[in-house]
A and B are shown apart, each in its own frame.
Chain A
Amino acid sequence: MVSATSSINFAVIGHQDNWESIERFVNGLRTSEQEKLPVDKIKNIFPFIPPRVLFKVKVKSITGSEINGIYIDTFISPDRLDTKYSKANIKKVTQAAACAEKEGASIASFGGFTSIILEGNFNFFANNGTKFTTGNTLTAAYIVKGVETAARQCNINLANSKLLILGATGDIGMACVHYFKQKVNQLLLCARNPHRLEKLANRLLVEKVNTKYHASVDEFLPEADIVICVASAIGLNFRECKKNVLICDAGYPRNLGKQINDNPDVRLFHGGMGQVRLGYYFNPDYTNSIYHYPVPGIAHGCILEAMVLAFENKFESYSAGKGNITTDKMEEIYACGLKHGITLAPFHNGNGLWTDQKKSN
């Protein structure tokens, strides 16, 4: 049961997606007298650690209110962020959820891959005092708002554009499809599961949405003006891209940057990200190692959804299941965030802020 005296408004359940930041984190915890551990030794320890609270979080709203939260890491190995490790990963996510409840969190969101594992199925936690959300609605909202804003900045007219969505049949992918289906010239849809893809495309064709679909992204990449990637994508051939294509990388792990390899014809940003205008504060502060962004206050939409719901005293499973994200709900949670100074993040990627964002940040 959630403790009546709990001062924890929200919890965020997450994971690390690369060994470099884990190496910085673990060695940052070691004293100056202790030898620094190489990644191969860290790999022998890190994945065995059970889910636990790593730090406390304080967030301030522009309304003057303040909320307290915790970050719970699942300690899922970055090498195991794949559905083939579902059984072990579900166990870790379930333990992390139990941890959130034990700590008395009123609402908890499943960050990154942890929500993919459960596919928004919260039946496991039906009797818990803590309410759970995937955080996917605000993530999707930041993706679509980000694409619209970035397109304007890059002088891309949405109405004339072909929009490629990788991972179109996932929860966030479908939300993007429905948001953009009447706003772009053509939807190009890709997903791993051909049956689900065909089903989605057929529904859109009935609605007379100009849609093409294919399991292979190589078919569509050369003709796309904008790409939204909400799936792990490896081996894409960006040499075939249109000049000045706009790419929103919102997959887990974000791995498009390395594949694009500084191609000057591509404008890439990490999508699904928001920013807390008055900032969030970690205790202990590990932002130099595990949650490091080019400017302060940036966080994933899924994490920010828990914060927004906590600010709004809306302790409910706002995002649950798959395919339930509506455009109205995206607009609602996005507007709630704005009330508290939680906005779309400045455009950035692995190389830092976009050049034109540096002036305003």
Chain B
Amino acid sequence: MNSTTNTVEEFNVISDVFSQAITGELVGMSNFASLTDTIDDPHEKMEAVEHANSERIHAEVFTAYAKKAKLKVNINLNGEYWGSVRKQFLSYALQKDFIACLIIQEVMLESFAVSMYTDVGNALGGEAGGLFLSIANEEKEHLEHSSDILREEMRKNPSDFINKFEEIHFKCMTILAQFSATTDLRGHCGVCNDDCMKGSLHHIGLDIVSLRGNAMALYAGALDNIGIPGEKSTVWLAQLPA
């Protein structure tokens, strides 16, 4: 316990929430850094570095708060789920597939980040809540920026683009769906300090069903925004693990 939490349970779950957020930001930072190698355009390259730096700053801001609040933070970029997503990202980065990297980092991961940070921010309130909400707003810009690029890509060749998106969806969203299911479908994440935090979220006024549902809803909205037909995206969503 510390001065900002009332119970041991609350302290533990907030510690785990910060652990996940910091790990996620560092995965994002690493992804954007890897993305720079896939880009030839110097301006786009600089922008990717800038995004990597913005994720680094987010990780630092979360870390600074966690330190001040004496939270028990565990960072693990190689955990079961974060490590798998990173591996998928790298497989596309190695092929210099900028569009695939954008889809993973800026659509899939950012949809989850924006939605979950918003829910966590609203639930926590105070300084910690404000932190999550302001970072959610910044991540939202990444999501919107990528949608413009991907819409243009979709316009060029809708069929090829949809096929490519579908392949990435099943490779990456399957991992995120397993990660956010009511029970960890692939075992412990390697980030939570003790047992999975999902069963303890009620201590801070949250529940995994709403967190996951809202994140999936934002992702579905992002697909609509890019122009993926609803007939397709509905099937993609229905085929995810639950």
Residues of A at the B interface (CB closer than 8 Å) are: 26, 29-31, 34, 37, 41-42, 44-45, 47-50, 52-56, 72, 99, 284
Minimum distance in angstroms from B175 CB to a CB of chain A:
16
Number of residues in B with C-beta < 8 Å to the partner?
A: 20
Binds A, one of B11-19, B38-46, B100-108, B224-232: B224-232
- Check: B135 CB closer than 8 A to any chain A CB: no
Partner of A47, one of B212, B213, B238, B242: B213
Known: A48-B213, A50-B217, A53-B229. A30 touches B239 (CB 8 A): yes
Query: Known contacts A31-B239, A34-B239, A37-B242: does B224 contact A44 (CB below 8 Å)?
Result: no
How far apart are the CA atoms of A41 and B182 in the complex, in Å?
9
A56: chain B residues within 8 A (beta carbon): 231
A281→B61 CA distance, assembly (Å)? 55
Main secondary structure of the interface of A (DSSP, over half): mixed
B235 to chain A, nearest CB (A): 5
Contacts A30-B238, A34-B239, A50-B220; A44 near B212 (Cβ below 8 A): yes
Do the beta carbons of B217 and A49 come within 8 Å of each other? yes
A-contacting residues, B26-57, CB 8 Å = none
Are A52 and B242 closer than 8 Å at their CB atoms?
A: no
Question: Considering the complex of A and B, which 4 residue pairs feature the smallest CB-CB distances, nearest first?
Answer: A52-B230, A48-B213, A53-B230, A29-B238
- Chain B, residue nearest A28 (CB): B238
> Of the candidates B221, B224, B237, B242, which one forms a contact with A41 in the assembled complex, judged by CB atoms under 8 Å apart?
B242
* Proximity string of chain B (163-190) to chain A, C-beta cutoff 8 Å, 1 when within and 0 when not: 0000000000000000000100000000
Q: Once the chains bind, are A48 and B224 in contact (CB under 8 Å)?
A: no
Contact A45 to B237, CB < 8 A, known contacts A52-B230, A99-B230: yes
Q: Are B213 and A29 in contact (CB under 8 A)?
A: no
Q: How far is the CB of A40 from chain B (nearest CB, A)?
A: 10
Cα A121 to Cα B56 in complex, Å, equals: 49
Residue in contact with B234 in the complex, picked from A37, A49, A99, CB distance below 8 Å: A49
Contact of B235 (CB < 8 Å), options: A29, A41, A47, A50: A29
A324 CA / B3 CA spacing, docked (Å): 62
User: In the complex, what's the smallest C-beta–C-beta distance from B199 to chain A, in angstroms?
Assistant: 15
A44/B231 in contact, CB under 8 A: no
- List 14 A-B residue pairs with CB atoms under 8 Å apart, sorted by A's residue number: A26-B238, A29-B235, A29-B239, A42-B242, A45-B213, A48-B216, A49-B217, A50-B217, A50-B220, A52-B224, A52-B230, A53-B230, A56-B231, A284-B231
Complex interface: chain B residues within 8 A of A55 (CB): 231
